[in-house]
Amino acid sequence: MNIKIIKQENAPAKSDLLAFAELLELTGLHPTILGELIELGWVTPVRTMSEAMFFKARDVYRLRKLDRISRDFELSLTGASIIVDLLERIEHLENKVSELHRLL
């Protein structure tokens, strides 16, 4: 039995970033919707020299939340993005308050 050992320097580097197609598959969003959110600056992809776009895994959660809020409340993307931003800010502030309570 021959076992090939792949040297670490020859193996592709592991990435925490997702390709455009992967993000669409994981979120179920239409490419035009994702494009609109990129234009709004709500999602900021990492761009390679060849202009390929990659996204953070955290974007999947945010985009799913935005899509759900948009559909459930029949809101525009802009309205839903404002709500998601506010919910994230509330969560951040609640975490700060919890940290301060632990210090007391």
In this predicted model, what pLDDT tens digit does every residue of 45-87 receive, in sequence order? 999 888 899 999 999 999 999 999 999 999 999 999 999 999 9
Count CA within 13 A, CB hemisphere, residue 19. Answer: 3
In this predicted model, what pLDDT tens digit does every residue of 22-56 receive, in sequence order? 999 999 999 999 999 999 999 999 998 888 999 99
CA 82: distance to chain centroid?
16
Name the token pair of 70.
Answer: 């948009």
pTM score of the predicted model: 0.77
Beta strand segments in 1-104, E: 17-19, 46-47, 53-56
29 touches 68 (CB < 8 A): no
Provide the residue count of the chain: 104
Domains observed in the chain = 17-103 (1.10.1660.10)
